[in-house]
Amino acid sequence: MLPYKSLIQLNRKSGVALYIQLCNSFITLITNGTHQPADTLPSTRIIAQLLALNRNTAKMAYDELISQGWAESIPRKGIFVLSKLPVLTKKKIIELEDRAKTPGPSFIWNNPFEDKTVKKNNQKTFLAIDEGFPDVRLTPVDLLMREYRSISKKIQGKNFLKYGGPQGSERLRIALCRYLSETRGLTVQPENILITKGSQMGIYLSAQLLITRYDTIAVGDLNYRYADEIFRYAGARLLRIPVDEYGMNVDILEEVLKRKSIKAVYLIPHHHFPTTVTMSMERRLKLLKLAEVYRFAIIEDDYDFDFHFNNKPFVPLASIDYNHNVIYIGSISKTFAPALRIGFLIAEPGFVSAACSLRQLIDKQGDSLLEEAFSLLYENGEMERHFRKSLRIYIERRNLFCKILLSDFNDVIAFKVPEGGLAVWSVFDENIDLKRLSKTLVDKGLRIADGTFYHNESLTPNGLRLGFASLTETEIEQALYLLRLALN
């Protein structure tokens, strides 16, 4: 008889019933080859004695084995491993241990992400200068959850627990039509809008529909890295266009277009990532004209339009695009709370319909209840009140942050006070090793990026986006004190 006492370990503190644990243990012994087809299993009396179990527990475990098709009961003979099971090679314990020490793939698969790093979890409490996120402590979560609960309790609200359409909540799309018209001069209909899981999904869907292998897409010489990776994954070649204090240099793009065709231009005209610059109106108009002449798409990523400080922001390209070249992508997540994944893609109905078809292949729909709850916050004005309140606070934090940078870091950091957005693009002295600085600061209790996220095949700036919005004034002073201490 096998040494069942050592082979089967039961956890009596587990929430899993003992008979299920025993059943699973026998399944493991069968699948690893310890038990072969037609092998005799110990009687319920013996296994109960060996493992100090009630005999009924052992009987229930065997009944479960039989019902799942692992064993069979033969009258007046006993319980046996099902004879029809395929014969599995018996593995010695030492062989299993050796395999565990040298793991390898069990099948061949394509991994285009070997050199990519998965973004770190920012949900753990830690003093951090992030890349420019909103302060979730200001988010009116209670109001959102109130609407969420209210909808879910209503009889008609139960319908939102069923499958919906991939385009997203019609009520939220109608609310966004009104809000975007009032704040950005963007006149669209609900059929022009696809509700996404944040702006990232909108970029991905656009790239998959626009790009075929070896197509060229123009991007900034400094650009949002995840957008770059999405375009490369779709098979695109990236054409780097310089970005200066007035945004992407459209004159250089025009010279390129005279000798080379492109499929699309991706840009962030408001609060460019990472540099925070805003594209001039002259360049916006010229880009739209070039798109009309050369017939390329413009992917306009307008992820934080709502946070503009000094004056009224320029209207988006999409608002003055009369030739329908612009795919407009926005985010509620980045202005409300990053973990609440709500964004939108706006384009011609035909493009939106194709994006819906693609979206439902990977994500059948969004969170209908959450989308409905957000629509109510737009309808009753809570979203606008939240933005106005946050804007006042973020201006004060920006001013304090930049004041300290100017007074205490002018020897090592070059920056311009941003007109909008939630971060300061800070270029460090070339003698400062940002990787080493990041590691040093972790030991001092401050998390900060190491700058590699902004590197690409074209440029490797020694800079960081230093986010101020998610820190209180006291936290700003504490964080910058630790940064200065590490630099010293």
Task: Tell how strand 264-267 and strand 216-220 pair up.
Answer: parallel
Name the one residue in this structure whose structure tokens are 């209180």. 472
Q: How many CB atoms lie under 10 A from the CB of residue 112?
A: 9
Q: How many CB atoms lie under 10 A from the CB of residue 55?
A: 14
In this structure, is the dihedral angle defined by the CA atoms of residues 242, 243, 245 and 247, taken in order, positive or negative? positive
Burial class for 356, CB neighbours closer than 10 Å (0-12, 13-18, 19+): middle
* pLDDT of the residue at 67: 94
Look up the CATH architecture of domain 128-134+385-487: Alpha-Beta Complex (3.90)
* pLDDT of the residue at 118: 61
Per the rule left: phi > 0, alpha: psi between -120 and 50, beta: everything else, 132 is left
* pLDDT of the residue at 484: 95
Cα separation, 371 vs 193, whole angstroms: 13
Q: Convert 197-222 to b/e letters by CB count within 10 Å (16 or more is b).
A: bbbbbbbbbbbbbbbeeebbbbbbbb
Amino acid letter, residue 483 = L
One CATH from 3.20.20.370, 1.10.10.10, 2.40.100.20, 3.40.50.80 for 4-81: 1.10.10.10
Q: How far is CA 427 from the centre of its chain?
A: 27
Task: Tell how strand 326-331 and strand 297-301 pair up.
Answer: parallel
Cα separation, 364 vs 356, whole angstroms: 9
* pLDDT of the residue at 93: 44
Cα separation, 429 vs 410, whole angstroms: 10
Q: Measuring CA to CA, which residue among 132, 115, 193 is closest to residue 422?
A: 132
One CATH from 3.30.499.10, 3.40.50.620, 3.30.70.920, 3.40.640.10 for 139-380: 3.40.640.10
H helices of 314-456, where? 333-336, 349-362, 368-379, 382-408, 434-444
Domain boundaries of the chain, sorted by first residue: 4-81, 128-134+385-487, 139-380
**Residue 123 tokens, joined:** 């949900």
Torsion angles phi and psi, residue 419, rounded to 5: -75, -20
**Residue 382 tokens, joined:** 């809570």
Full pLDDT tens readout for the chain, 488 residues: 789 988 999 999 888 999 999 999 999 999 888 999 999 999 999 999 999 999 999 999 999 999 999 999 999 899 999 999 888 665 544 454 455 555 666 677 777 776 666 666 555 557 999 999 999 999 988 898 898 888 888 766 677 777 788 999 999 999 999 999 999 999 999 999 999 998 999 999 999 999 999 999 999 999 999 999 999 999 999 999 999 999 999 999 999 999 999 999 999 999 999 999 999 999 999 999 999 999 999 999 998 888 888 777 889 999 999 999 999 999 988 788 888 889 999 999 999 999 999 999 988 888 888 899 999 999 999 999 999 999 999 999 999 999 999 999 999 999 999 998 999 999 999 999 999 999 999 999 999 999 999 999 999 999 999 999 999 999 999 999 999 999 98
Q: Measuring CA to CA, which residue among 477, 453, 472, 479 is closest to residue 464?
A: 453
* pLDDT of the residue at 335: 80
* pLDDT of the residue at 104: 64
Reported residue count of the chain is 488
Q: Would the CATH topology of 128-134+385-487 be identical to that of 139-380?
A: no
**Residue 250 tokens, joined:** 């459209």
Cα separation, 303 vs 345, whole angstroms: 11
